[in-house]
Structure 1
Amino acid sequence: MAERRSRQQHTPRGSTGPCVFCRIVAGELPAHEVLRTDALVAFLDSHPLFPGHVLLVPTVHVQTHDALPLDLALDWLDASQRLQRAVEQATGADGALLLVNNVVSQSVPHVHQHVIPRRRGDGLRFWLGPRRPYADDARAAATATAAAIRAALSPPAGRT
């Protein structure tokens, strides 16, 4: 019988609590690895939505997507694309859902990307709702919201 890991409790941003994924990376907990490099590890999710559901994690502890070091970004993107293609091919899927939760719905406080095989009609209801339309004129609200996001956006790293 396979060992079941319990879900971690919600962990706020900046937590220094214990990390299940760091323990998997260190080899302290079992996982069915599909990829390991110096920078990244990918393994089958222990609670998959569908067979072939994979998690990609950096080998260094990084809690959120915005904290992922830029020097890992190319490796992360390359591995993510390779995993997506491999998961689709290995499972005969029509496509894949790529998902990163950031704090909210992040059950383990270590940035991770889900690569989930999808088939048309597979029954997964990935529902983004309820929708929250802008209260006033949609064009004006969207423009004000877009302006606020532009104002908050930081320049790319290494540029001013």
Structure 2
Amino acid sequence: MDCIFCKIVEGEIPCNLVYQDELIMCFLDIYPFNEGHVLIIPKTHYLDTDEIPNETLLAMMSLSKKIVKIIKEKYSPDGYSIMQNGGEFNDIGHYHMHVFPRYKGDGFGWTIPDTNHKVSQGISNELREMLNF
């Protein structure tokens, strides 16, 4: 497999390792948005959230919580972001979460789309039914 993150897991490509266990790895992003920007990945190759075993997802989220605490202590940011892109928007092709400190005026932001997407009780009801609630 020609996956850069799998090669990092296998030790074929070096990284600035922050943490690893039998399920996950955490290392510094080589293109950090802000200092302290880390990536958390499963050691097994997955593309999307719905493919990953719950045990691995829980390990990733638990580590992200610890990383946030460290980011707050070390960098005193105004906030932080935890994000992940799936499907075609996962530019690496290996599931990964970004965790990074945020500061007012740092330029990172969420834009509101020009198009108005329908928001309705019908949509929430349909999604709730699909979740079997």
Q: Distance between the aligned counterparts of 2:92 and 2:132, measured in 1?
A: 27
Structure 2 residues without counterparts, runs of 5 or longer: none
- Determine the structure 2 residue equivalent to 1:144: 122
Change in Cα spacing, 1:154 to 1:20, as seen in structure 2 (3 Å) is farther
Deviates more, 1:37-46 or 1:86-95: 86-95
Q: Distance between the aligned counterparts of 2:73 and 2:115, measured in 1?
A: 34
Q: Distance between the aligned counterparts of 2:81 and 2:98, measured in 1?
A: 8
Given that 1:93 and 1:117 are in contact with CA atoms closer than 8 Å, whether structure 2 keeps it comes out as yes
State, as a whole percentage, how many aligned pairs show the same letter: 28
- Determine the structure 2 residue equivalent to 1:53: 37
The one of 21, 25, 31 aligned to 2:5: 21
Structure 1 residues without counterparts, runs of 5 or longer: 1-16, 156-160
Q: Distance between the aligned counterparts of 2:15 and 2:59, measured in 1?
A: 21
May I ask how many residue pairs the two structures share in their alignment? 133
Summarize deviations over 1:84-104 as a string: whole Å, max 9, x none. 121232223222100011113
Q: Distance between the aligned counterparts of 1:97 and 1:46, measured in 2?
A: 17
Give the alignment's TM-score, normalised by structure 1. Answer: 0.74
In angstroms, what is the RMSD of aligned CA positions?
Answer: 1.9
Identify the structure with the greater helix proportion. 2
Deviates more, 1:53-62 or 1:116-125: 116-125
Give the alignment's TM-score, normalised by structure 2. Answer: 0.87
- Determine the structure 2 residue equivalent to 1:44: 28
Q: Distance between the aligned counterparts of 2:32 and 2:54, measured in 1?
A: 29
